[in-house]
């Protein structure tokens, strides 16, 4: 039994650098993927919020029509009286 433990320890020690390197790579990939997911979520929330804000702003906007015919007539009369 003790010899089995010694053999297992030797195998673990021989592969320790490979295992640590593999774990470091996995941790790095996990952090990059996690960052990308977080950025995507924040971007989606921002885009949705902007769309909601834009929709609410469009609904609250009122259009007012102005009849400028009186002003045009007045200006037309001014320019025709200057010509005489």
Q: Which residues contact 12 (CB under 8 A, 6 or more apart)?
A: 19
pLDDT digits (tens, 9 = 90+) for 19-31: 999 999 999 999 9
The pLDDT confidence band at residue 82, using thresholds 50, 70 and 90, is low
d(Cα 49, Cα 21) in Å, to the nearest integer?
42
More confident residue, 39 or 53: 39
Predicted pLDDT of residue 28 = 97
d(Cα 45, Cα 51) in Å, to the nearest integer?
10
The secondary structure of residue 84, as a DSSP letter, is -
The structure's pTM equals: 0.53
pLDDT digits (tens, 9 = 90+) for 42-81: 999 999 998 888 887 777 777 788 888 888 888 888 877 6
Predicted pLDDT of residue 83 = 53
């Amino acid at each position: 039994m003790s010899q089995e433990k010694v053999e297992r320890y030797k195998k673990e020690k021989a592969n320790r650098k490979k295992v640590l390197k593999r774990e470091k790579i996995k941790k790095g990939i996990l952090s990059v993927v996690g960052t990308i997911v977080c950025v995507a979520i924040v971007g989606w929330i921002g885009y949705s919020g902007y769309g909601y804000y834009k929709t609410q702003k469009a609904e609250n906007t009122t259009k007012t029509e102005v009849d400028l015919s009186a002003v045009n007539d007045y200006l037309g009369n001014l320019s025709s009286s200057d010509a005489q």
